[in-house]
Amino acid sequence: MDAEQVKKAIEYWQDSAEYDLDVADVLLEKGKYHYSLFFGHLSLEKILKAIFVKFTSEHAPITHSLPLLAQKSGLNIDPLHLEKLAEFMEFYLGGRYPRDMEMVYKKFDRSFTKKKLAEIKETFQWLKKKL
């Protein structure tokens, strides 16, 4: 990708990531807890794709794996943040597979969702500083 394409791709991923994080807040307030965390995951995925493009000048890989995106970007990430990214993968799966929805509805209550969304936001801000 040339410099202009890189700039546009980074802007696209970053803008979309921030939008999705806002959607996560709206879904939390509406009581749609598992979808709130799904959009939280999506925001992290997209900010990581922006970072990937910035550091590699290549198109972001087609993956939903947060740890993989962090590693492929060349991002110097400490084990604690990498562990958090792996933990947040549960929210991608929880939002996608209906066979697990009963367990998801029980586990992802308001208290759990607020706590995890706060952790997602903290991680998001940490990642955003890498841009």
Q: Is the pLDDT of residue 6 over 90?
A: yes
CATH code of 33's domain:
1.20.120.330
- Looking at residue 106, what is its pLDDT? 77
- Domain with 68, as residue range(s), is 3-128
- pLDDT tens-place string over residues 91-122: 986 556 666 677 777 788 999 999 999 999 99
pTM, full prediction: 0.93
Average pLDDT over residues 24-34: 96
Residue 59 DSSP label: P
**Which of 69 and 76 is assigned the larger pLDDT?**
69
Helices (H), the chain: 3-29, 33-56, 66-72, 79-94, 101-107, 110-128
Work out the number of other CB atoms within 10 angstroms of the CB of residue 50: 24
Total number of domains constituting the chain: 1
Distance CA(128)–CA(112), nearest Å, equals 24
pLDDT at 107: 84
Please state, as a whole number, how many other Cβ atoms lie within 10 Å of the Cβ of residue 69. Answer: 22
AA identity, residue 108: F
